[in-house]
Amino acid sequence: MTPSARGPDAIELRRVALPLVAPFRTATGAHQTVEKVLIRWIAGDGEGWGECPVGLGPGSVSSVDAVWSLLLHALDAAPPALPAPAAAALEVARLDAELRAAGVSLAVHLGATRDTVDAGVAVGIAPTLEALLTEVERRREEGYRRVKLKIEPGWDVEPVAAVRERLGAEFPLHVDGNSAYRLADAAQLAQLDRFGLLMIEQPLPVDDLDGHAALARQLRTPVCLDESISSLAVLERALGLGACSIVNVKPARLGGVIAAREVHDRCRERGVPVWCGGMLETGVGRAVNVALAALPGFTLAGDLSASDRYFAVDLTPSFVLEDGRLRVPRGSGIGVDVLPDVLADVTTAIEVVRPGA
């Protein structure tokens, strides 16, 4: 069934802050808590939820304040352009409501072909090699099917060598440069070739497609692009240049789950493997990512960790690792429900927009 295209009676914005079970370091620093803007699409025949990542570097919005006023006016006659993550959250909230009313799951609506998806885990930059190896070993024991290591200049060859030795030659391992390198670092990055990595993700700046193409010619390790791939047009240019041979697909970065499916479809046509990235999502955003990752072109394990990797208590019933996989929600809409008591505990602000009021 195709969902109806009716407008909302109201849109509720919620600012939430969730403590992390352990600090997580990204390109923007070490995070003790993670902020989100949640969108609740309220219509006569139901409601739906979407999640907008905040303050996690490229692919998220810089702050709640930066996006709050834009979302408040998103239903004006001439709305301002929304940043991609906010547009994606609004789209998912609408789809969730419409698909729930139609009795259709998001996974089915997108064309999912699997009931479970392989789960990978991202490991941040650790204070010591010993701490890194302890965490990596713990994640393997938990059952994750792939480990991703964050790297940066001064923290690359030595930690990767240590982790490869600990995990063994066959365990799937890849690294993420988070744009910390420049083309002049090619010789340093080429030292990673000997570790049999699945890929090196986003080593150079977001807008440097030419540099990525030049780097790819100097490495045996496949180059994957993440934040650089902001649209189908950019994807086509990147593939034409040879800037990547693998793509990380994130709905928030692309402006919605439908755009993410289009990128998946194009990559599948071109024989380019894709995987689903994460942005410290709660169960709301994780449900969307897991449904997307069940499409046939997602052949590599994504950043689809269990809820307890990040949160002691999630906003929805927890996603649980089962033999290194997560189950694809098959209920109507995104397939999970927000837990009211948890939501109340983490909410720091609420505002409601009533179109036409």
Q: Which residue numbers are catalytic?
A: 150, 250
- Determine the Cα–Cα distance for residues 156 and 149; give it in Å rounded to an integer: 9
Name residue 117's amino acid. Answer: V
Nearest residue to 49 (alpha-carbon basis) of 349, 327, 357, 343 = 343
What is the Rg, in whole angstroms, of the alpha carbon atoms belonging to the chain? 20
How far is 174 from 201, CA to CA, in rounded Å?
8
Closest CA to 174 of 208, 147, 154, 155: 147
Q: Do residues 306 and 326 make contact, with C-beta atoms less than 8 angstroms apart?
A: yes
DSSP-assigned letters across all residues of 104-141? -BHHHHHT---SEEEBEEEE---SSHHHHHHHHHHHHH
Q: Which two tokens stand for residue 143?
A: 């059952």
